[in-house]
Structure 1
Amino acid sequence: MTLLRGFLWLLGFQLLGQLAVEWLSLPVSHAMAGLLLLLVWLLVTRRLNEGVAAASQALIPLLAMLIMPGVVGVFFVIDEFAGHWTAVMLALVLGTLLSVLTTLWLMRRFMPGGAASVDTEEPRP
């Protein structure tokens, strides 16, 4: 029941994001607005809802499938990229590099124990 409750919380924030985007004519996607509202809610309450945590953990293995529709959608607008391949490739390479570096930095910053404690361990006899 906790997992279902978490999915309902996530869906509720997505719907709130959709309402905010429609009413305020914001230039962001509905899902992104919902995630930003969820972030604000988490920062204000200063606690993580058990259901949201359970639903989020269940979605992590499916992350590649959640990103796939946007990637596939590029093929429908590929003609609009004609003459801009240098900019597209530069954006892809820099975006990927910055994404990987940011993820690495966040992982090292927030993982318990950190990488430094693993490197300084003395070998056991």
Structure 2
Amino acid sequence: MSILRGFLWLLGFLLLGDILVTLLHLPISHGVAGMLLITAWLMGRGRLNNDIAIASQALIRLLAMLIMPGVVGIFFIADEFAGHWLAVAVALVVGTLLSVLTTLWLMRRFMPGVEATSEAAPNE
């Protein structure tokens, strides 16, 4: 039952993001707006909702499948990128590097045991 409550929380914030973007005519994705709302809510609470954590873990295992439709969709609009491949390639490389660096920074910040474990190993 906990996973269902978690999915309902996630769906609720997705719908709130959809409403916010539609009403305010914001130039961002509905999903991104929902993620920003849930992030602000969780930061305001100061702790993680256990139901959301359980539902999120189930979604993380399916992440590649959730991303795939967007990646496949690029093939249908590839002709619109004609003459802009350098900009697209630079954006992909820079975006990937920033994503990896951000993930590394967050992991080191919120998982202090990872850094301590590597430093605690003796160099013999």
TM-score normalised per structure 2: 0.91
Alignment match, 1:73: 73
Counterpart amino acid of residue 104 in structure 2? L
SS for the counterpart of 1:113 is helix
User: Does structure 1 residue 24 correspond to structure 2 residue 24?
Assistant: yes
Structure 1 range deviating more: 99-108 or 78-87: 99-108
Alignment of structure 1 residues 49-68 onto 2, 5 Å: 49-68=49-68
Counterpart amino acid of residue 97 in structure 2? L
Alignment match, 1:117: 117
SS for the counterpart of 1:35 is helix
Runs of 5+ in structure 1 lacking a partner? none
User: Does structure 1 residue 101 correspond to structure 2 residue 77?
Assistant: no
Alignment match, 1:11: 11
Counterpart amino acid of residue 76 in structure 1? F
Deviations 1:44-75 (A, max 9, x none): 12121111111011111111111111111111
Runs of 5+ in structure 2 lacking a partner? none
SS for the counterpart of 2:83 is coil
SS for the counterpart of 2:62 is helix
| CA distance in structure 2 between the aligned counterparts of 1:47 and 1:106, rounded to whole angstroms | 16
Counterpart amino acid of residue 55 in structure 2? A
| CA distance in structure 2 between the aligned counterparts of 1:110 and 1:48, rounded to whole angstroms | 13
CA RMSD of aligned residues (A): 1.7
How many aligned residue pairs are there? 124
Deviation at 1:118, TM superposition (A): 2.2
Percent of matched pairs sharing the same residue:
67
Alignment match, 1:39: 39
Deviations 1:75-97 (A, max 9, x none): 12111110111111111112112
Deviation at 1:120, TM superposition (A): 2.9
